[in-house]
Amino acid sequence: MLDAKVSELLNNQINKEFYSAYFYLDMSNYYEEQGLSGFANWFKIQAQEERDHAMLFMTYLQNNGGKVTFDTIDAPNKEYKEFIEPLKETLNHERYVTSLIHTIYDAAYSVKDFRTMQFLDWFVKEQGEEEKNADDIIKKFTLFGSDAKGLYSLDTEMGARVYVAPTLAI
Ligand SMILES: [Fe+2]
């Protein structure tokens, strides 16, 4: 049986991951409107990954006797004035998600829930990659994004991202 607090945090995380998907789809829509279809593609795939994360938390909870309760997903609907803004928001958001994962890990650790800790290990590593990816894109945009040719190249590169299903098996 899962500890009540751990179970609650895992359930909340489903909502946070679906929100993340919404958040990134909103960014994808913004870039699509701006004519940067490569950036739009990158964020659409990012959203797919977040949806996968939500499903992983849901399956883990169900497989371990927890109850899944859906809450309202907040609307992102942000207004962006500059191309770099969503990139910076992405890094901030991923840092926030890292803190959420660490909070669940901490709760599992405190009750010696080794199974949940092992499940979360994948997410701890994944968050490291998410933060690095976001940081890399900001750096590239800062270097090349202000020039039209550089922006075009970057958009082409972002457009080459393909969806890869998560490697985590529950
Ligand atoms: Fe995620």
pLDDT (tens digit per residue) in 139-168: 999 999 999 999 999 999 999 999 999 988
Domain annotation covers residue 149: yes
Residue 11: pLDDT over 80: yes
Domain CATH for 20: 1.20.1260.10
Q: How far is the CA of 13 from the centre of ligand 1 (A)?
A: 9
User: CA-CA distances (angstroms) from residue 79 to 20, 22, 32, 83, 92?
Assistant: 16, 14, 14, 11, 16
Distance 98 CA to ligand 1 centre (A): 9
Residue 40 forms part of a structural domain: yes
- The alpha carbon of 125 and the centre of ligand 1 are apart by a number of angstroms equal to 11
Q: What is the distance in A from the centroid of ligand 1 to the CA of 21? A: 8
Is residue 105 a part of any domain in this protein?
yes
Q: Is residue 152 part of a domain?
A: yes
Is residue 74 situated within a structural domain?
A: no
User: Is residue 46 in some structural domain?
Assistant: yes
Tell whether the model's pLDDT for residue 169 goes beyond 80.
no
Confidence check: pLDDT of 16 > 90: yes
Residue 88 forms part of a structural domain: yes
> Residue 1's pLDDT band (boundaries 50, 70, 90)?
confident
Specify the pLDDT at position 132: 98
Angle between helices 148-159 and 114-144 (to 10 degrees): 150
Residue 164 maps to a domain: no
What is the number of structural domains in the chain? 1
pTM: 0.96
* Domain that residue 131 falls in: 4-67+80-159
Distance CA 27, CA 76 (A): 9
